[in-house]
A and B are shown apart, each in its own frame.
Chain A
Amino acid sequence: MSDHFPALIIVVPLLSAFFIAAAGWIRRTLCFPIALFAMTVSLYSAIALLCEVVTEGRVIYHLGGWSPPWGIAYDIDYLNGIVLVVVAAVAFINLFATRSSVALEFPRKLGPFYALYVLFVTGLLGIVVTGDAFNLYVLLEIAALTGYALLGMGEGRAPLASLNYIFMGTIGASFYLLGIGYLYLATGSLNMADIATLLPEIYHSKVVLLAFIICMTGLFIKMALFPLHFWLPDAYAYSPSASISLIAPLTTKVMVYVMIRIALTVFTPRFSFASPTVSASFVWLAAIAIVMASIMALSQKSVKKMLAYIIIAEVGYMVGGLWLGNRNGITGAILHIINDAAMTLCVFLAAGNILFKLKQDSFDHLQGLFRKMPFSMAALVIGALSIIGVPPTCGFFSKWYLLLGGIDAGQYGFVAALIFSSLVNVVLFFRIFEIGFFESAQEHHPTGRAPIEEAPLEMLVPLMVVAALLIVLGFYTGDIVNNLIRFALPAGIA
């Protein structure tokens, strides 16, 4: 069974999703245990796959027994393996943390919720592990459809926000499909490694250039890069807190992974970085994205919307890091995928705890939170320090690599944008901390101390684990970069 891990990592969650859907109609208490089993097997398989890649090199698995390009193949190398572990770990931790919110918000629809949860994770794992471009589109749509449904179940403006997300997400996915169609027209193959061998003869053709532009545009829409980011703040702000801590850390990062995969593996660095003006313009676009997102985050009045704009800025970091085109930049981008997933999970779980107890998250109502919910706010502090980029949390190190890459490539605009965004993040978070430190006038207790009304234990423990993970990841950055990320970069990069 050990050489079938690439299949198991997808098949077990997929079959479990069907069992959960059936259990929702027959016996509802079985839903959570089956979901837990599925996530555990995925996490185990992801870690086992990464170890296999480290010890034995690239893992290729032929589905249906047909070798590529006639069949579909899974192709796992260092880049894949890292992102697989990130996705599986976030999904696993989040399952525990959201159990109480789910029981509160959807008591009668546990079956469909957990089935959609597991299917979302299956879609993302499939996107990361596949080596076939059209298979990636199908899995992209699975992840997107489950995301639309999970986000559309909030109150108030959630359905409208989710419908706008459907429109923009479908445009993005359709552009990606069109780009793959152009590549198929030009080469006749759908397998990513095969296309990479067939493309160099036709680099000069307009079809290949158009395929590149269209694919990238579609992916930029799906990862919410400014100015195509309009769907993200509304969709994330009004969503139920049970879904947002799963969707927010993962969706945009996996799209960044797909962008890196297409830019570095399908269109090799020879093509992607061939024109310095194109790369420079992408870096400038990323810098503008970071600056605009940070400015827009300043004017928000609720925690979740502010965090949504911070996500848009973080996407700008990763896109800029890739298009810097040098080792430090791309290392920074890949490292930031790992770190940003952890940071986003931490702050969204903390926001979820606040919402669970206070039932709303606008800034006016956050007074005295440090006394009332000390552990959640402590985790929020660690997450904030990581987003700002303070050592020894992990956020500092990925920013450091991005800064080094920017200086190496001479892109001082990008460097300035990074520093500006750190300063704005300081302002954003310290505003919250300031409100949280002081109690409001009506709540003065006779003994001088407010009672602790912390979130339940099963929401707190995962949050503490993630907060600790941020610091641990920071300490192990050197190991991660030298043993894993260094081999994920292709050969042709300075």
Chain B
Amino acid sequence: MDDILSILISKYNYWGYIILMMVGLYAMIIKKNLVKKIIGMSIMQTAIIFFYVSIGVKKNATIPIITHGHNGAADIVRASDYINPLPHVLMLTAIVVAVATLGVALALAIKIYRHYDTLEEDEIHDFLKNQAE
């Protein structure tokens, strides 16, 4: 019990992101409405983005833009003064990928709506079953 408490205090941010990811995954699995599933997908991808960004945090460090005077020369740059820029770069890419997937998913949802006139999965299944008979 002591163990879990100490882990919780030092790593509570990771626990938050894992719970958020599981919420998104749960929505994707059990919801019947297609748009709700798409929202769940978006939540899960956002949780992973949070996870990566939190890897790069350093205590007492500022954003990774090197401050310099007007003459353009920089002072001595110490790595511990700036947070890790690499997860931010990776997550820029991940955000764009998430948006692109969202766009394609919504386009397919519109196509499905055009065809079946509903976005509920069980109604579509009933329609297909009736059609097959």
Contact = CB atoms under 8 A, between A and B. Distances in A.
A and B touch in their complex, CB below 8 angstroms: yes
Interface in B91-112: 93-94, 97, 100-101, 104-105, 108-109, 111-112
A149 B108 CA distance: 9
A148 B51 contact: no
B95 to A, nearest CB: 12
Given A152-B111, A160-B112, A181 B104 contact: no
Contact residues of B: prevailing secondary structure: helix
Interface stretch (A33-41, A169-177, A351-359, A475-483): A169-177
Sort chain B's interface into a size bin.
20 to 34
A138 B97 contact: yes
Contact residues of A: prevailing secondary structure: helix
A19 interface: no
B101 A163 contact: no
Interface string B4-35: 00000000000000000100010010000010
Contact of A160 (B90, B104, B124): B124
Nearest to A181: B52
A159 interface: yes
A130 to B, nearest CB: 14
Interface string A135-157: 00010010001001100100001
B48 A159 contact: no
B28 A166 contact: no
A159 B55 contact: no
B51 A167 contact: no
Contacts of A152: 108, 111
A271 interface: no
B83 interface: no
Given A177-B48, A178-B48, A181-B51, A141 B109 contact: no
A163 B108 contact: yes
Interface string B29-70: 000001001000100110010011001000000000000000
B130 to A, nearest CB: 14
Contacts of B37: 167
Nearest to B28: A167
Nearest to A189: B86
B78 interface: no
Given A159-B108, A185-B55, A134 B48 contact: no
A184 interface: yes
Contacts of A148: 104, 108
B55 A181 contact: yes
A134 B28 CA distance: 25
Interface string A423-462: 0000000000000000000000000000000000000000
A423 B112 CA distance: 39
Given A163-B34, A163-B108, A171 B44 contact: yes
Given A159-B115, A162-B108, A181 B48 contact: yes
A162 B34 CA distance: 12
Contacts of B115: 159
Given A160-B124, A163-B34, A141 B101 contact: yes
Contact of A141 (B55, B97, B105): B97
Given A159-B108, A178-B48, A181-B52, A171 B97 contact: no
A174 B104 contact: no
A64 to B, nearest CB: 13
A181 B104 CA distance: 25
Contacts of B105: 163, 166
Contacts of B86: 190
B52 A171 contact: no
Contacts of B52: 181, 184
A470 B39 CA distance: 45
Contact of A174 (B45, B55, B87): B45
Contacts of B41: 166-167, 170-171
A150 to B, nearest CB: 11
B55 to A, nearest CB: 5
Central interface residue in B25, B104, B124, by most chain A CB within 10 Å: B104
B25 A171 contact: yes
A190 B105 CA distance: 29
A171 B109 CA distance: 18
Contacts of B104: 145, 148-149, 166
B128 to A, nearest CB: 7
A141 B108 contact: no
Contacts of A174: 44-45, 48
B94 A170 contact: no
Contact of A170 (B101, B124, B128): B101
Central interface residue in B28, B48, B108, B128, by most chain A CB within 10 Å: B108
Contact of A159 (B44, B94, B111): B111
A177 B94 contact: yes
A170 B55 contact: no
A178 B51 contact: yes
A157 B108 CA distance: 11
B100 A141 contact: yes
Nearest to A149: B104
Contacts of B111: 152, 159
Contacts of B97: 138, 141
Contact of B100 (A145, A163, A178): A145
10 contacts: A148-B108, A152-B108, A152-B111, A160-B124, A163-B34, A166-B101, A178-B48, A178-B51, A181-B48, A185-B55
Interface of A: 134, 138, 141, 145, 148-149, 152, 157, 159-160, 162-163, 166-167, 170-171, 174, 177-178, 181, 184-185, 190
Given A138-B93, A185-B55, 11 more contacts: A145-B104, A149-B104, A159-B112, A160-B124, A163-B108, A166-B108, A167-B41, A171-B25, A174-B44, A181-B55, A184-B52
